Structures are given as C-alpha cells and as structure tokens.
C-alpha cells in the first residue's frame, strides 16, 4: 500500500471515532411523581432569658417601681419565713387599685430587714394571670389563653405537675426547663410564673398566687 493510501486510511479511522462522541444522559422524573411538600416552620421555642415590659429576673425591684403601672402595688407581704417578699397587683379592685388589661401581676423579691433597702433587692420570680398586658410586652413567645397543646410544643418536655387549690377553685401547674411554670385552666394557659419556685403546692408562695387568682382575677 502506498504512502498516500495509508494516510487516507488513517484520516477515515480518526473521523469515524470522532463522530462517536459520548451522548449526554438526561434523567427525567417518571410521570405523575409527587413533589415533596414545602417545609413547615417549627414553632418558636422558649430560649430565655426573657424580658417583660423592660425588666428581667435579677433586676432590682425599685427600678421597676419608678414607673406606672408598677408604682402602686395593692399589697406586699414577707413569705416563707421572710425569705422573699410578695408584691402584688390585681386585675380586679385590690384596695381600689387595678392593674391594666385584666391582668393580675406578682413579683417575688429578696427580703431584707434593712428598711432603706427594702425595695432595692433582686426580682427572683415573677408571674401574671389571665389578662393580655404582657402578650405584647415580652420576649417570651407565648401569650395567656394559649391552647395547652401549643404551649407544650414550644416549651418541650414537662418536668412535672401539681395542682394548687383555694376553696372550690384549682389550677394545674406544669413545670418546664428554665424555671418556667404554666398555670392551666380549661386546657389553656391561664398564666405563667418565671423563676425558681417551691416544689410543694402547699407552700406559702403558691398559696399566695392562688389567693390572687381567686380574689382578684376573673376566673369564669
């Protein structure tokens, strides 16, 4: 075979191989296959530490009392052997004073025998019942009257529960991590207590809260 024919043969072989380039593979979904549903945002979780109307646990109570509606509590008492002081505000008339938006409010502050410092002690626990005052004034992600199912989905696993009673009235107290206590009535959050609280439902602090609920808070 002459050199010319050899060169011509090589040209045809190279051209043939080049024409057989790999084909692109396209993957398509089978007809009728359902697309995955859009993701649903998870409920907001309670992360703490929280603030309410400009204050937080650990603040001194005298800084809260400098302004309305905290400047005129309807009562205060030393509790638990004078370990804490119970400052209260009623949703219904309590010594002719009423807290706004049908809300009962209470603070537990450190007790001191030093009269000049009696209100300059730290807020160790705080809570409110029934009304809507704090629903728009807090970083806590739940409101009063929330369905208890939603409350549990936000707060996570319950640490325990007990019932507090006064006369013919009662509230279920559910305890959660972060010293969060939910007071439940008719499967809704009747109120919340934040901060360390006694385990005993007969303790003077829980009895004081139940007294505020029955005497100065709408419960029907």
What pLDDT score was predicted for residue 2? Answer: 52
Pair of tokens at residue 122: 């730290």
- Convert the pLDDT of each residue in 32-76 to its tens digit: 444 544 444 445 566 679 999 999 999 999 999 999 999 999 999
The H-assigned helical ranges of the chain are: 3-18, 61-64, 148-155, 204-216
Ramachandran bin of 32, using left for φ above 0, alpha for ψ from -120 to 50, beta for the remaining angles? left
pLDDT of residue 75: 94
pLDDT at 46: 65
**Cβ neighbours of 14 (radius 10 Å):** 10
Cβ contacts of 70 within 8 Å, gap of 6 or more: 64, 89, 105
pLDDT of amino acid 55: 98
DSSP track, 106-159: EEEEE--S-GGGTTSSBEEEEEEEESSGGGGSBSSS--TT-BHHHHHHHH-SEE
Q: Model-level pTM?
A: 0.79
Q: Chunked in runs of 10, what are the mean pLDDT values of the chain (220 residues)?
A: 46 44 45 47 66 98 96 94 95 97 98 85 98 98 98 97 97 98 98 98 97 95
Q: What 3-state DSSP class applies to 189?
A: strand
Listed as own residue / partner, the contacts of 30-38 with beta carbons closer than 8 Å and 24 or more positions apart are: none
SS3 state at 108? strand
Give the model's pLDDT for residue 114.
86
pLDDT at position 158? 97
Q: In the numeric block, which tokens belong to residue 22?
A: 């790999």
């Amino acid at each position: 075979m002459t050199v010319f024919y050899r060169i011509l043969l090589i040209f045809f072989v190279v051209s043939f191989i080049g024409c057989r380039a790999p084909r692109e593979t396209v993957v398509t979904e089978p007809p009728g296959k359902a697309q995955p549903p859009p993701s649903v945002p998870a409920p907001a979780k309670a992360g703490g530490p929280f603030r309410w109307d400009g204050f937080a646990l650990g603040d001194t109570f005298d800084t809260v009392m400098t302004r309305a509606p905290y400047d005129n509590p309807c009562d205060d008492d030393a509790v638990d052997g004078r370990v804490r002081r119970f400052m209260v505000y009623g949703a219904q008339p309590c010594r002719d004073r009423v807290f706004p938006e049908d809300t009962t409010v209470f603070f537990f502050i450190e007790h001191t025998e030093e009269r000049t410092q009696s209100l300059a002690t730290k807020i160790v626990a705080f809570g409110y019942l029934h009304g809507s005052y704090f629903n728009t004034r807090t970083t806590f992600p739940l409101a009063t009257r929330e369905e208890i199912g939603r409350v549990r989905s936000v707060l996570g696993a319950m640490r325990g529960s007990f019932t507090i009673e006064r006369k013919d009235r009662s509230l279920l107290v559910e305890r959660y991590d972060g010293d969060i206590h939910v007071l439940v009535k008719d499967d809704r959050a009747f109120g919340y207590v934040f901060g360390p609280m006694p385990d005993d439902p007969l303790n003077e602090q829980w009895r004081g809260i139940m007294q505020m609920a029955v005497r100065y808070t709408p419960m029907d």
